[in-house]
Structure formats: C-alpha cells, structure tokens
Structure 1
Amino acid sequence: MTRIPLAAAAAFSLSVLSSLAHARPLEAVASFTVIADMVQTVGGEHVHVTSLIGPNGDPHVYEPTPADAQALRHADVTFVSGLHLEGWMDRLISASGYRGTPVVLSTGIKTRGMEEDGQQITDPHAWNSAANGVVYVRNIISALKQADPADAADFQANGERYIQQLQALDSYARTQVQAIAQAQRKVLTSHDAFGYFGDAYGVSFLSPLGFSTENEASAADVSTLIRQIKQEHVSAYFFENSGDPRLVKQIAAATGAQPGGELYVEALSPADGPAPTYAKMFRYNVDQLVAAMKAGH
C-alpha cells in the first residue's frame, strides 16, 4: 500500500479546497438592472449578479426589501451608479450588516448639473451616454480584478470587447443624430434623464420634472413648459418604462406633440422586451428618438 506523506496530503487537500472555492462564482450585487447587465457582461461565468431593482423599476423611489438586505449581506462586491441616485442604499447597507464599500461606477465621469429650488443638483443619469458607459465598464473591470485576481485576464478580455461595442454605439448615435436638422432635435420626456445623451449627441430634451421622479411639477411649471414646447415646435414626446406617463400625455395633448413611444432610461426591459441589455437599450433609444425626430419635420 502506497503511503502519501502527511504534508503532501495536506497540500493536496488545500489545493482541492482552493479550486472548489475558486469554482464558486463571485457574488455581486448591483443596485439596478442597467449596471447589473454591465457587471455580468464583464464578469461572465466568474460572477453571479443580483440586481436589487428588477426590470422596469424606478431607482429614485425604490423601497428595499428584506431579500435585498440578505443579498447584500452575502455579497463579495457591490456596485452602484452613484451621484445620489440610490439614496436608499446607505439605509440598506446599515440594515444588512454588509461590511464592504460599494463600488461607485460613475467615478471619473464629467458630471452635469442644474439648479432646482435654489440648489445645485447633479444629474445622476450618466450611463445614458455610451462614452460614459465605457467609464463604468473600466471601473467594473478594475473592481472585479481586485475582488477575484485569479480571473483578471478574463475580466480584462471581456471588458475590452465590451468597450469596443460601446464605442461603436457612441459613433452610431452621433452619426444618426447628425443626419437630422438641428431645429428638429427636440423631444419631450417625462423627467430630465437624458441630459448626458443630449450633451453627447446634440439633442434638446424638455421635461416637466427635474432629475428625480420623486419631484412633482407645479401647475406653473407645466404651463411654462407647454408654452415652450409650442414656441420651439417640439414635435415628439416619449414616456419612460419606469415612470408614470400621465403628465407627459397631458402636456402632449395640450401642445399637439405626437407620441414617439417608450424609452428605457433607468431600467432594462424584461428579457423578452426590446431593451434586455444595456447595449440593446442604448441602441433602441437612439433608433426610437431618431425615428420620432425625423417624422416631426
């Protein structure tokens, strides 16, 4: 009978244990579906991602659940977009006992802001420019490499492929919008979530609400907006998959703006919808906006 020396047996069992531990995917938690998809795309088979907010969910007014606290407690790494979008996250972290620090994916973004009720507010919807999406992906690559150094090469390769896809989408958006006369590039949306898109690609967005769907538009705000839409000949309006369409429909009825359809802003569609991934969401929004602006001339 062959005897395995004790030290060799111990080393063998340790290597088996470490390969078993390594076989377990990294548990990642993302605040909402857009960034959950980005993390999954970079992480591939090495990462299991839980999105706290599901498809069509609104991150501004989300109320965390006990299941969210449990997911967070077992997370190896957590991702948020930041810029005060997920105001509920601090409470959830305290309630869950999670000891890590969330990775803020908007780090490094050149932010935009607006004045609201005398205060300077930062626009949190940074991912709506594909160039900013690239910044998010670089931050994801870096965080996943740190959390799981053994799979760093895969994260880098997946990330680089993804970045090329987003850079192509950035060029696509610019080319599509530039084919439309400047005067036609005006659109009404439910809330002010397309500022980064507008700045990047040259589209003017008007909305009755500010950066957050928690805000309520006053009657004076609405009548000012109706006047502006008529003066500027805004021809198309959109409602958002995660928001209440009633106010924007009311404004459209008063101005004669035509429905352009639905845009996906802060949440992906379910898997069988038109925007099940961030890349597909971005492309879908570009195509919807361009078709509506072209039809409005």
Structure 2
Amino acid sequence: MAKRRGVRGGAVLAGVVAAALAMGGCSALPADDDQRPKVFTTFTVLADIAQNVAGDRLNVESLTKPGAEIHGYEPTPADIRRAAKADLIVNNGLGLENWFAQFVDHVDAPHVEVSDGVEPIDIAADAYAGKPNPHAWMSPGNAVIYVDNLVAAFSDLDPDGAEQYRAHGDAYADRLRGLHDELVTALEGLPPEQRALVTCEGAFSYLARDTGLTERYIWPVNAEQQATPQQVAATIDFVGDNRVPAVFCESTVSDKAMQQVVSATGAQFGGVLYVDSLSEAGGPVPTYLDLIRHDIATIVGGLTGSGGRP
C-alpha cells in the first residue's frame, strides 16, 4: 500500500527545499495540460516497469534521467517542484535510495516501495555486510512482485482503472516469467570454470542466484564508488586463482578499478552491464526487458568469447 511520512529534519535537503520554494515564483515548471494522475519513480528502470502496468491511464515519469547514479543521487530544487505535483511516488526500497526518506518527507504525496515482499539477499562483505542487497529487480521473478505492488498502488490511486491495471500487470508478469526462462536457458550451458561473474558493483546477487553463477565484485554498492586497494587486490586474487576469463563493470560508474584487475590478471574486459539505469530511447537498453537481455548476452559473450583464457 502507499505510505505517507511525517516531516523530519535534514539540513542538506531542507536547503534544497528552501531553494525550491524561493525559486518557485521565478522559475516555475512549464504548464502541464496532462490531466492524468502523475506518478514519479525514483529511477528509470522503475518508470519502465510502472509504465507497463499503468498503460495510458497514468502519467509516469522518472525523477532521475537515463545514466544517473541512483544510490548517491542528490535531489535538486527542480526535483522537489516536480514531485510536489505527484499523486504517487514509487521507490525501490531495500536501502537503494539513501536520499529518499528525507526527500519524501518534504513532498505531500503517498509513496509505495515496490520491493515490499521480496526475499532479500544480504550483502556479504565490507561495510554493508548484513544489509539487504537492493538490486532485487535484477531477478525477473522479483520484478513480478514489483508488478503486483504497482497494481495494488495504482488501483488505490485510480479505482476506476483497477481492472485495466490488473490486466496490464498480468500480461507483463507473463513476459517477465518468460524472460526468467530466457536467462536461465542462456546461462545453463556455461561450464563450471566459466560461471564466475565478476563486476565492479555487487549488483547481481539476485541474477546470480537465479542462474547458478558465482558472484564477485570490487565494492558492494555504488554508494562507495572509490575502490580500496584491498578490494582491488582481493578481486585480482579471485580472478587469478579461478582463471576467470572475463570481467565486467556497470554503466553508471567508472571502470578504472576493474581495468586494474584486467591488467594484473590478463582477463578480458567483457563489456558494460546495465543495472541502475536504462539508456536513452535510442540506446542499447531503453526498457527493463532490454536491460536484462543485454546483460545476459554480454555476460555469455564475455565468458565464452575467444578472447578469454583457455
């Protein structure tokens, strides 16, 4: 169900709110003639999933743009003014949006955490050990749970559209289940020595669980972004000891640390994976379904490519 929060402090965001109010009269947003209920999501992946449930009945937008790093995002005065027009705000939860609690405290709109009901996988290492891995959407099976939560929230927001939301949700959930079968089939043929997925961020725990891959990463969540020498050294040791043929990095962070791993081990750089953001419409991953398919193709290509270790 959608939730409301009480007003709380927060010096940084309070300053943003004050700036938004001060700018409101002189830099108002363009007039919006769309009379449909407005739904704002915290990032582009959620916007696409939500749009598939909403159909044409709701105006769905992402607060962050394609390519934005969601973990440490800093809301702007324009974000506050846009969110003030929202009828519903959708966030992931599980600690993904570190900034969201203070942000939503200053916006008079209900919100829904779409990961509610997901069985979390805890982060195993470093400062975040024991906290839930927030990237639950990287399992299409978890995305079905997101869809169910969106159907319920949209039906509360717009009861007249409840039947349509349920129908859209059921149809999209069928596509997600088919996507799950696609990724399992694509990866089931990898031999044991090629089943290690090494990335910059630990964003693939749920996908690795679904497909039987062994996950390793340099840092657990992108809120860190600065790899320590110890993290790089541990990754080098794992790649070298296990003769991992290829390593990967995510689109929203620098691959500099992973390139150190490549130089030290002779593994190939297998390519860029998408997790926290879709691309622009003309890019490689304009939708969530495209994102999962792109990542699977990149992983399989990297781990089985002729450039990998023999």
**Shared fold (TM-score greater than 0.5)?**
yes
Counterpart residue number, 1:91: 102
CA deviation after TM superposition for structure 1 residue 28, in Å: 0.2
2:120 to 111, 119, 125: 111
2:159 is equivalent to residue 149 of structure 1: yes
CA RMSD between the two structures:
1.5
**Structure 1 segments of 4+ aligned residues over 6 angstroms from their partners:** none
In structure 2, stretches of 5+ residues that fail to align are: 1-33
Matched-pair contact (CA < 8 Å) for 2:147–2:173: yes
> What aligned pairs does 1:56-205 form with structure 2 within 5 A after superposition?
56-94=67-105, 97-113=106-122, 114-117=124-127, 119-205=129-215
Question: What is the aligned partner in structure 2 of residue 12 from structure 1?
Answer: none
Q: CA deviation at 1:115?
A: 4.1
* Partner residue in 1 for 2:3: none
Q: Offset of 1:55 from its aligned partner?
A: 0.6
1:283 aligns with 2:288: no
Letter in 2 for 1:72: A
Deviation string for 1:69-101 (max 9, x for gaps)?
Answer: 11211111110000011111122223xx42333
Aligned partner letter, 2:64: I
How far apart, in 1, do the equivalents of 2:119 and 2:293 lie? 22
Secondary structure in structure 2 of the residue aligned to 1:189: strand
Structure 1 stretches lacking a partner, 5+ long: 1-22
**Contact 2:141-2:180 at 8 Å conserved across structures:** yes
Which is richer in helix?
A: 1
Relative to 1, partners in 2 of residues 1:269 and 1:196: Cα closer, same or farther, differing over 3 Å?
A: same
Q: Distance in 1 between matches of 2:81 and 2:130?
A: 35
How far off its partner does 1:233 sit? Answer: 1.0
1:242 counterpart = 2:252: yes
Match for residue 217 of structure 1 among 227, 240, 263? 227
TM-score, structure 1 normalization: 0.88
- Residue identity over aligned pairs, in percent, reads 32
Distance in 1 (CA, whole Å) between partners of 2:225 and 2:280 is 26
In 2: Cα distance, 1:35 partner to 1:294 partner? 31
Deviation at 1:37? 0.6
Q: Distance in 1 between matches of 2:52 and 2:119?
A: 24
Amino acid at match of 2:47: A
Confirm whether residue 206 of structure 1 aligns to residue 216 of structure 2. yes
Equivalent pairs, count: 273
**For the Cα contact (< 8 Å) 1:115–1:121, is it kept in 2?**
no
The answer to whether 1:49 aligns with 2:60 is yes
Task: State the shift of 1:206 in Å.
Answer: 1.7
Tell me how far apart the structure 2 counterparts of residues 166 and 117 of structure 1 sit (CA, whole Å).
Answer: 33
Using the TM superposition, name which of 115-124 and 203-212 deviates more.
Answer: 115-124
SS of 1:49 mapped into structure 2 = strand
Structure 2 length-normalised TM: 0.84
Give how far 1:221 is off.
2.4
1:32 aligned to 2:43?
A: yes
Q: Is the 8 A contact 2:125 2:220 kept in 1?
A: no
Q: In structure 1, how many angstroms separate the alpha carbons of the residues matched to 2:240 and 2:163?
A: 54
Residues 106-148 of structure 1, C-alpha deviations (whole Å, 9 max, x = no match): 0010101124338522100000011011111111111101100
Query: Equivalents in 2 of 1:212, 1:241: separation in Å?
Result: 11
Cα distance in 2 between the residues matched to 1:93 and 1:221: 34
CA apart distance, 1:215: 4.8
Is the Cα–Cα contact under 8 Å of residues 50 and 71 in structure 1 kept in the other structure?
Answer: no
Please give the alpha-carbon distance, in whole angstroms, between the structure 2 residues aligned to 1:218 and 1:261: 22
Contact 1:125 1:193 (C-alpha < 8 Å) held by counterparts:
yes
SS of aligned partner of 2:257: helix
